[in-house]
Chain A
Amino acid sequence: MKQFFAFVEKEFYHIFRDKATMLIILLMPVVQVLIFGFAITTDIQNTEIGILDLSGTPDSRALVQKIDAGPYFQVTARISSTDQLESLFKKGDIKIALVIPPDFSDDMAMGQGTQVQLVTDASNPNEASIVNGYLQSIIGAYSLERYPGDAPKSTSIETRMLYNPQLKSAYTFVPGVIGLVLMLICTLMTSVSIVRERELGTMEALLVAPSKPICIIFAKTVPYFAVSLFNLLVIILLSIFAFDVPIRGSFLMFFLASITYIFTSLCLGIFISTVSRTQQIAMIISLMGLMLPTVLLSGLMFPIESMPAVLQGLSYLLPARWFIEMGRIIMIKGLGFGYIWMQWTILMGMAVVFLGLSVRGFKVRLT
């Protein structure tokens, strides 16, 4: 046991004394959260809208006013003909346009359904559909306000966005970023630190000592486990205070999910170290083989359901996928263990497999 602690202590020295490592540990989580939070946001704010009001009545002006007043849209152009519309879109001055027909007010007065036209710049389809949705819901709210109780003449769809009614992207990315950062810290750093010992020749001195492989391996994971917990805390605090992300479910449950994920990532890191001969190889496997798929396939940025079957299958292999699912279920939906047991079990299973392979693959001799 004393040996084990000596190992752990030594490993902490390595971490604290290497400036590059410290920089990664301290800065990476913050930078990632901020990048994902601010830059890759899909939230709608002050979207430029053009208005072609052919009706020009108090009714239509009230609608435009309502759109302009909210935080989502900003009326940047009031135009008088459809020709102008196209040039505005081409110049990129507006993202969406609302066309109010001449008989808008009359139709409303007669109590029959009325139509407005939304024209959207769909060169970025994702954004277009979100902007579209926002505007529709404002218009829907407007007509409901104007004619409460009046049964709509045609079937209308009422959409309710559960758990995240404003579709804030912060809600979805926080579990994702936690998944990404922890994966990097645990997997990349653990694997590199083990391979480094082999490259620098210090493994040669370690091996001649009568220590058990499992002792060396576990001792490697402890410091990174601690570092990961610290990072977890930083990200959670940042998400709560900078992005108002709620933790609706039990904090303890989320903690359990995170610890499990950290454990799995550490085991994966150790496993990578047993198959990589140089630090570069370990880094390439961790970055190209894990980070990229984690960003693209884990559901962090793109919905898994809309991927081709092959990629969906690939995503099953990513620990981050299961963690992100758990994170969303607990943080955003506020559900308990009954809803995450499957993901949790899968992660634990992965950890056991990686650990088993690593202990078996650990070489007690030089090759």
Chain B
Amino acid sequence: METSVVASLVSKSFGHGNHRVQALDGVSLRVGKGELFGIIGPDGSGKTTLFRILASLMLPDKGRAYIEDFDTVSQYRDIRKIIGYMPGRFSLYQDLSVEENLRFFATLFGSDIEKSYPDIRPIYRYLEPFRTRKAGKLSGGMKQKLALCCALIHAPKVLLLDEPTTGVDPVSRMEFWGMLDLLKAKGITVIASTPYMNEAMRCQRLCFLQNGKVVGCDTPENIRHAFPFKVFSVKSADKSRLLGDLRKFPACHACYPFGAYHHFYYKEGSLRMEELESYLASLQHEEIKIKESEPTIEDCFMNLMSQGGTDGN
């Protein structure tokens, strides 16, 4: 696959002296043309900084980044012509209507709504009923769709989306990712960050970011296959006590709450379900339910995070 976006050993820190924060620490990425690439990581892991550096809005302290072979530092003017960027914070004009915003950004990029209409139509059709509504009065999902429209209006080659679905209802989130699939099909490179794991699954490749470092980068399937543990989903009447007790069990590698169940990681062959069940029964847990589970992407994420955390310290 041809390369569209490259970051090599990008570092960036903020602040001075004791308050110095290393936002990015030697991040390297390679994203192919037309790839839907996901970046996940906890808050403060450096996602937004990475996006800003890729969008030429920030200078890296060290390292380089290229978009379609343009250097983000010296050729930022060329980059700004070919990228669509959606900042994490809603950054359109709240006091302008949907149409006015769209028209303004179209003109800004030397295009117009009519010319770009075919490109944005699949997304804009959701917005069309609210054409005259002020952007500030739109729902969260609508706002993000409008922002995506504005980022797409000049037919960019690369789309950078910083948490485009944060704070958006689940139905709109599904729609939004459906749109990204369409864009990918058109050959647009899409890099998006998200805190939602079920969305991350829709990316072709995923990159885990933690404390400004890449702790893992692969396709969702490979990431799941590479998960080194087996997983039990465990549930009982007293959930909070259960978590502590599970973590005290010798064969337990780690245990995290996942909705109604706790996910219990253990080395393959080190444990049988009955052993765990009798252990919990001996601790007077009631309504114990244990089942074997496939590792989810979130399990991988938690595991990578805990490894990254120990490496980092």
Contacts and interface: CB of A to CB of B under 8 A. Distances in A.
Contact of B107 (A6, A17, A204, A208): A6
B57 A205 contact: no
B214 interface: no
B305 interface: no
Interface stretch (B36-44, B88-96, B170-178, B179-187): B88-96
B150 to A, nearest CB: 7
B108 A206 contact: yes
A175 to B, nearest CB: 35
B83 A201 contact: no
Interface stretch (B98-106, B199-207, B296-304): B98-106
Given A209-B80, A210-B109, A10 B87 contact: no
B57 A210 contact: no
B108 A14 contact: no
B81 interface: yes
A10 B100 contact: yes
A14 B96 CA distance: 8
Nearest to B112: A2
B289 interface: no
A260 B105 CA distance: 32
Contacts of A207: 57, 80
Given A13-B96, A366-B57, A201 B91 contact: yes
Interface residues of A, number: 26
B104 A201 contact: no
A209 B105 CA distance: 8
Contacts of B108: 3, 6-7, 206, 209, 211
A14 B109 contact: no
B96 A205 contact: no
Interface in A7-23: 7, 9-10, 13-14, 17-18
Contacts of B29: none
Interface residues of B, number: 30
A2 B106 CA distance: 11
Contact of A209 (B59, B92, B93, B109): B109
Nearest to B76: A364
Interface string A196-214: 0000111111111111000
Nearest to B97: A13
26 contacts: A3-B107, A3-B108, A5-B107, A7-B108, A9-B104, A10-B93, A13-B93, A13-B95, A14-B95, A200-B91, A201-B90, A201-B91, A202-B91, A204-B57, A204-B85, A204-B89, A208-B55, A208-B57, A208-B80, A210-B81, A210-B109, A210-B110, A365-B58, A366-B52, A366-B57, A366-B58
Interface of B: 52, 55-59, 76-77, 80-81, 83, 85, 87, 89-96, 100, 103-105, 107-110, 150
Given A207-B80, A209-B80, 16 more contacts: A3-B110, A5-B107, A10-B100, A13-B93, A203-B91, A204-B91, A205-B85, A205-B87, A205-B105, A205-B150, A208-B55, A208-B57, A209-B109, A210-B109, A211-B108, A365-B56
